[in-house]
Amino acid sequence: MVGKEEMRGLTQYIADLRACRVRELEEKRINKEMAHIRQKFKEGNLDGRQKKKYISKIIFTSILGYNVDVGHMEAVNLISSPKYSEKQIGYLALTLLMHENSDLVRLVVNSIRKDLDEMSEMNNCLALHAIANIGGAEMAEALAGDVHRLLISPTSRSFVKKKAALTLLRLYRKHPEVIPAAEWALRIVSIMDDHNLGVALAVTSLVMTLAQDNLEAYAVCYQKAVNRLSKIVIEEDYPSDYVYYKVPIPWLQVKLLRLLQYYPPSEDGTLRILLHNVLERILKNSQETPRNAQHNNAQNAVLFEAINLAIHLDTESTVVHAAAHLLGRFISAKETNVRYLGLDTMAHLAARSDSLDAIKVHQPIIIQSLRDKDISVRRRGLDLLYSMCDTTNSKTIVAELLKYMQVADYTLREEMVLKIAILTEKFAVEYEWYVDTILRLMSTAGDHVGEEVWYRIVQIVTNTEELQEYAARKVFDFLGNPSCHENVVKVGAYILGEYGHLIADEPGRSPIEQFSILHSRFNLCSTPTKALLLTTYFKWLNLFPEIQEQLVAVFRKCSHVLDAELQQRACEYLAVSQRPDEDLLQVVVDEMPPYPERESALLSRLLKKTGDTGDKRTWYIGGKEVNQGQDAERYKGFGRRKAKEVDPDSLVDVEPQQQQPTHAPGSAADDLMSSLAGLDLSTPGSAITPNPIVESPISTLSPSLPTAAAATAAPAAAKAVASASTPSARKPSTPLTHGADKWLSRLVYNNEGVLYEDGQLQVGIKSEFHGHLGRIALFFGNKISVALESFTATIDVDDPDAVSVTLPKIPTSHISAMSQIQQLVHVECKGVFSSPPILNISYLAGSLQTITLRLPIFLSKFIEPVQLGSNDFFERWKQIGGPPREQQKIFAIRLGSDGKVESEKHRKVVGGTKFGVLNGIDPNPINIVAAGVLHMSTGGKVGCLLRLEPNTEAKLCRLTIRSTNDRVSEELLSILVGSLAVK
């Protein structure tokens, strides 16, 4: 801190200014001091202490509101001072005296970067304050990377991380284009797991803003937010320092609950259950109203955000039903803030819910809120009435809004007009009511009615033939009111010009009376309205020839006015009226055609009006269909892995009987026969003799095979190996960690082993599969002497309709040094799938480490082995037939050290892929024959037969798979070739 002795001059200067009784004396003292300071700076030879003293006086003068044009360079020089007190004054001057586009700011970028790089936390914080307060585009572009580095550095203190996160948030809000938000996503999100809740709060604020524009990149924050909420609310895992009036860190809870609303509801059952438990606990903790105001405010802040999240997730959940009763109590509470929050949250419920019955119960109280003493409450009451309106209560609500319009605040009237017009059009059960209401609205609201409102009524009347006569009659009546507004005149001019002839024969509505009532408003209207009236008179020339003299007189009079638009119209209309050719007049003034159907401009304007907020809205005022449309736009493109489009020709090509369950309980062989039963035996395929295996071409290969044939087979085999070097030839959309497939290949036919290992982490696996279900235990072992922090494991599935993978609990975010944690994974095979699910691992070990692996979940894991006799096998083999249900590939194999085929390895691979190896079927002992049944929860059962024929002399092997589904045959062939072929 600056010593009193050093700043005695500043103290005296402040005392002198305060003693000045009039502004002239104050200005005189300031001018004298500034001249003195300017002279001192001009002389130079000032040390840091003296510069600091004079700069302090300049800062105080600036704070008083005087323009200061001296000392800027000296302030810049002070930033480089090694003394904290001098550096502090330099930074203070920088933030107060200079704007973001000042040329001097460029001079301090290097000094600020130097302070960011220092190990001094105080210097770091001064630099961060300056960046956040100035934050120009040039400074953001130059220093954003340094701020990010300070945020993620493991050596940064907690309060430095907090300031770095908030500084980065400030830069992004001002200049989002210079922040590589998606690139930094994983590293920033990992800090949400920080043990210091203050850091977690600051980073969550940053993630909230970044995620709104980068949903995909920050998707992992969803799991972290749920996990942190569960720890705070369910496990009560938080320091006592962060309990605010008995509510644990309410600011972080509110931000996490809001963050989850930016994402679509998770399909992960574990996360949904956890969130449901969190929301139930929050509601349970809020049953009693605290007497302490601060406790009540904190509790309500968390409660209302929790209700908003519950509504976002599922409006039919038990939490929302319980919350609906609470909201009914809140909207009639004595506290203004509680009423406001209750109305706002109930409007959210109305905007998402299918049924409005629970809200309509409170309709009288909601209508009463329009007359609340607080305008904010009145606004929320208006929003709620708009959202809860439907065909059953539209007349009541619109009538109340029209009634309130006469006494409503001027700031509310424009919005009320839009909402009344939208509701009237949307829920009109009678055309007449629509016309009456809109005309009454235009008469009542006056200048607050925008152009869109009368444009819309004109469109609807033009497009609705049965409404035209009534509209003409009604608008004529409204024109007779003494206080008729100009907007009604516009509507009357258009409608009477088009459809006035429909009522011309009625008493009191003759052509001359229509002209008189309209023209009586002519001199009181604006120029655009006068132009519209002239067009109406022009149309009447053809409809009402009996009043032609009066109409032509108006054209002659207006042909001499000064306004160019009116004069041109009048002259043109007069010229046409005086032509003897009446056909031309009839063509020119022909009736308007119907307008093309399009979205109402009223709704677009309202959405634009309500959507302009700092943070993007998670819902919009209005009904469910409005929010569904907005959600579709907001989530467009979200989801890295999309479900694949399945070619209909590749689906199961079998008779309906194949999908039926077995007609009697029995062995697996019975299941197989049942799944193969009913096949069309005339299906084209290779004819199979009673002993087909002996006659197969590859089994007759010998050392005397012609060289040309061998040369032809070798490239084919090499090509086959190249295309099947991995269990699935299809590449994932996310690059896998280098070298990960070498472990995966062993797990194709083994149920346990190492999935991945490096110098820091080992991932082991144990699995078991029964039918269409499977369970996997993942073991994450920390191999280093420090803990792994912010550990995250997520699973992405390429086709969730074919395979479901869920984590029954969220993985722990902390792995202690030299220890291991276990994570269970539940798997369900629903249909045929190609790509194994992807396991994404990230953790902090000094820096952020990311690992992307394939999980050993293949289609073959869901096969149950069966045993068949020779006759049964051959019969089924023949029934299935040839391609496309038969898939075959020839590939190169490696011989054992003794030069013979590794038959035991081949049996291990085939048996490990869950096929039942059938002994004594093939007369050649090195050939392998196997059978199994693939189980799928929605795709049913598929019988699978296999035949493996190696040839020692050619070092080649032929694998043939036949099944009742050609896609299954293709996938199983790819999996087995990837394990058997030479790598």
572-594 per-position pLDDT tens digit: 888 888 777 666 777 777 777 77
> 329 among the known binding-site residues?
no
For residue 108 the two structure tokens come to 């301090």
pLDDT for the residue 862: 94
AA identity, residue 46: L
Is 70 exceeded by the pLDDT of residue 980? yes
Mention every residue, 6+ apart, whose C-beta is less than 8 A from residue 358. Answer: 321, 324, 349
- For domain 861-980, the CATH class is alpha beta
Taking alpha carbons only, the member of 906, 879, 876, 881 closest to residue 891 is: 906
Higher per-residue pLDDT: 19 or 695: 19
Q: Which residue(s) pair with 763 in the sheet?
A: 756, 780
pLDDT per residue over 715-760, tens digit each?
333 333 333 333 333 444 457 887 777 888 888 888 899 999 988 9
pLDDT per residue over 638-692, tens digit each?
754 333 333 333 323 333 333 333 333 344 444 444 444 333 323 333 333 333 3
Calpha distance 775→769 (Å, rounded) = 6
> 426 among the known binding-site residues?
no
What is the percentage of the chain residues whose pLDDT exceeds 70? 87
pLDDT for the residue 612: 43
Mention every residue, 6+ apart, whose C-beta is less than 8 A from residue 279. Answer: 306, 309, 310, 319
Query: Which CATH code is given to the segment(s) 314-387?
Result: 1.25.10
500, 542 Cβ separation under 8 angstroms: no
pLDDT grade, residue 299 (50/70/90)?
A: very high
pLDDT per residue over 465-506, tens digit each?
888 889 898 888 888 887 788 888 888 888 888 888 888 888
Task: Give the count of alpha carbons within 13 A of 470, CB side only.
Answer: 15
Is 70 exceeded by the pLDDT of residue 522? yes
Calpha distance 757→746 (Å, rounded) = 14
The answer for 426, left when phi > 0, alpha when psi is -120 to 50, beta otherwise, is alpha
> 501-517 burial, b for 16+ CB within 10 Å, e for fewer?
bbbbeeeebbbebbbeb
Provide mean pLDDT across the span 54-75: 85
Query: Which CATH architecture does the domain made up of 389-588 adopt?
Result: Alpha Horseshoe (1.25)
pLDDT grade, residue 600 (50/70/90)?
A: low
pLDDT for the residue 712: 36
Task: Please state which of the ranges 350-364, 665-679, 813-827, 936-950 shows the lowest mean pLDDT.
Answer: 665-679
> 56 among the known binding-site residues?
yes
CA angle, 414 then 611 then 383, to 5°: 55
CATH of the structural domain 740-857, one choice from 2.60.40.1230, 2.60.40.10, 3.30.540.10, 3.30.70.20 = 2.60.40.1230
> 55 among the known binding-site residues?
yes
pLDDT grade, residue 520 (50/70/90)?
A: confident
pLDDT for the residue 861: 92
pLDDT grade, residue 859 (50/70/90)?
A: very high
Task: Please state which of the ranges 8-22, 114-128, 256-270, 692-706 shows the lowest mean pLDDT.
Answer: 692-706
pLDDT grade, residue 624 (50/70/90)?
A: confident
Higher per-residue pLDDT: 833 or 466: 833
Calpha distance 533→839 (Å, rounded) = 71
Task: Please state which of the ranges 41-45, 238-242, 497-501, 757-761 shows the lowest mean pLDDT.
Answer: 41-45
Task: Give the count of alpha carbons within 13 A of 633, CB side only.
Answer: 10
Q: Which alpha helices (H) appear in 677-804, and where do they start and end?
A: 707-723, 741-744
Calpha distance 168→173 (Å, rounded) = 9
Higher per-residue pLDDT: 855 or 544: 855
What is the percentage of the chain residues whose pLDDT exceeds 90? 30
The pTM score is 0.79
Mention every residue, 6+ apart, whose C-beta is less than 8 A from residue 59. Answer: 89, 92, 93, 96, 97
pLDDT for the residue 421: 87
Is 80 exceeded by the pLDDT of residue 334? yes
DSSP letter at 231 equals I
pLDDT for the residue 138: 85
Is 60 exceeded by the pLDDT of residue 978? yes
pLDDT for the residue 542: 78
> 905 among the known binding-site residues?
no
For residue 733 the two structure tokens come to 């959309």
pLDDT grade, residue 353 (50/70/90)?
A: confident
pLDDT for the residue 718: 37
> 876 among the known binding-site residues?
no
Mean confidence (pLDDT) of the chain: 82
Mention every residue, 6+ apart, whose C-beta is less than 8 A from residue 401. Answer: 370, 382, 385, 416, 419, 420, 423
